[in-house]
Amino acid sequence: MKLCRRAVFWVLMVVLLAIGLWAVGFPVEAEDPYPSAPTERTVVRLYYESHERLVAVAGQLDIWEVEPKGGYAVAVVSPAEYQWLQDQGYHLRIDTEKTIQLGIRAPLDPRFHYFDNDYVNPNGLYIVDFLQNTDAAYPSLVELYDIGDAWQGENGGYNRDIWVLRITSEDPAHGNIAEKPAFYLFANIHAREVATPELAIRYIKYLTGGYNGEGGYGQDPDVTWLVNHNVAYVLVMQNPDGHRQNEADVGAYRRKNMDNDDGCTDPSSWGVDLNRNHSFFWACCGGSSGYPCDGTYRGPAPASEPETQAFQSHFASVMRDQNGPNDDNTIAPASPLTTTGIFLSLHQYGDLVLWPWNLPSPPPNEAQLQAIGRKLGYYTGYDPSGSIGYLVDGATDDWTYGKFGMPSFTFEVGSGSPCGGFFPPYGCVDGIDGISRSFWAENKPAFLWAHKIARSPI
């Protein structure tokens, strides 16, 4: 009898504890998976029972994270998208913390570089100034190219050029620049990924005058050899129009460019996802959206955007096509062992090393790409999974590999607290402000290794 009374007592205590936790707002698993649709943009956890269920909707959603072990993806959704997912039977849970962050209205930390003084940076840090000053300071090592205009400049708005800095010794004793092995570093195609230009800027500094007491041409033997016998092309910011929106207000969470004439009437949602706009297998496989307001809108046609056109034209002018002629919808044979050059695109976030394809079928050089990717994962400490977990068509690295046969990779930089998300604390970039993690320390050895193997990566 005493045992029964004791059992009843503990059952009652457990019930009362559960009621108390519910009353103070502690999240419980038994919450209604289908609450009423929100009235504003909301960050949710989208639970999926199978990979196919994720792929079925990923092309239409602005997905931030994929957590395969938890069986969910983190995405920002509009009220209409929320209702659409509910109607298809997906279990949704609002991520309150991330949704609150979505509503923060504040300028970007001025320790991050802004593009130019169209929006004033209190610290005077401007990417255009940095590039032009570097070009002036190292006339025998660098060459600055204006490769084209961003969308607003081509459509009657504020003109922002897209810049590429070439770094190599121009001394003929070190060979013909056009014949040197090439490393192409590419950043900030998604405007809100504000840590990626910082990493590109640091690599430029490291190869020229040095950064934080390390590197420097004529000071560090490895750097001197790299600059003498290789060539680096660094595109610091591919989406300057969009970045400018986030400089003024991080609450914009601007991802796309500023194209406003494709049919979307919501200024916060117009634009094209430039990483869905490249011409190779554009719109092929359900990895993008044809609706102009969606975060993954691919544009009205392959390479429709001036930013995409500028990059593709410049890349084709300086990098070798090594897999033979193939059109935009034909997969060429495997790239040969004589392939030279390597491409690296920087994104946020997830701590991942990715490589082609973002498409349904494996790439012809799957084994070689995986071997390089795993080595890059070793240097960065990131997961070399190769895939982001869903399909993406019109992606940059698919175009550079698919059209040129060049080993191509993407880093998703940052994860977890406090250095995850699109606007991490500035201290995460260098490991300052009491933050132990340093994006630069993680990526520097991977940049250097990729640069070194550019002569014969496969």
Res 155 pLDDT > 80:
yes
**Ordered domains of the chain (ranges, CATH):** 32-103 (3.30.70), 127-455 (3.40.630.10)
Instruction: Give the per-residue pLDDT at 6.
Output: 42
pLDDT average, residue stretch 389-403: 95
Averaged pLDDT, 135-151: 98
Contact at 8 Å (CB) between 162 and 307? yes
Q: What is the pLDDT of residues 305-348, one digit of tens each?
A: 999 999 999 999 999 998 877 899 999 999 999 999 999 999 99
With pLDDT > 70 as the criterion, what percentage of the chain qualifies? 92
| Mean pLDDT to the nearest integer, 394-404 | 97
The pLDDT of residue 324 is: 74
pLDDT tens per residue, range 431-445: 999 999 999 999 999
First vs last C-alpha separation in the chain: 76
In the chain, pLDDT over 90 holds for what percent of residues?
87
The answer to whether 295 and 62 have CB atoms below 8 angstroms apart is yes
360 pLDDT more than 90: no
**C-alpha angle 44-45-46 in degrees, rounded to nearest 5:** 105
More confident residue, 442 or 360: 442
Predicted pLDDT of residue 35 = 57
Q: What pLDDT, in 10s, does the model give residues 259-303?
A: 999 999 999 999 999 999 999 999 999 999 999 999 999 999 999
**Residue 192 pLDDT > 90:** yes
| pTM, two decimal places | 0.91
> Smallest Cα–Cα separation from 204: which of 113, 335, 296?
113
Q: How confident is the model at residue 2 (pLDDT cuts 50, 70, 90)?
A: very low
164 DSSP β-pair partners: 145
| Residues, the chain | 458
Please state, rounded to an integer, the average pLDDT across all residues of the chain.
92
The residue-averaged pLDDT of 389-408 equals 96
Does the structure show a pLDDT above 80 at 362? yes
pLDDT for residue 259 = 98
Residues near 262 by Cβ (< 8 Å), separated by ≥ 6? 270, 272, 292, 297, 299, 300
Before 418, cis peptide (omega within 30)? yes
CB 195 within 8 A of CB 414: yes
Going by pLDDT thresholds of 50, 70 and 90, the confidence category of residue 161 is very high
Q: What is the layout of strands, in order, in the sheet containing 72-77?
A: 62-67, 72-77, 42-47, 91-94
d(CA 55, CA 61): 10
- Residues 3-53: pLDDT tens digits? 344 443 343 333 333 333 333 333 333 344 445 678 899 999 999 999 999
C-alpha–C-alpha distance, residues 176 and 169, integer Å: 10
Average pLDDT over residues 68-85: 94
Choice between 368 and 11, residue whose per-residue pLDDT is larger: 368
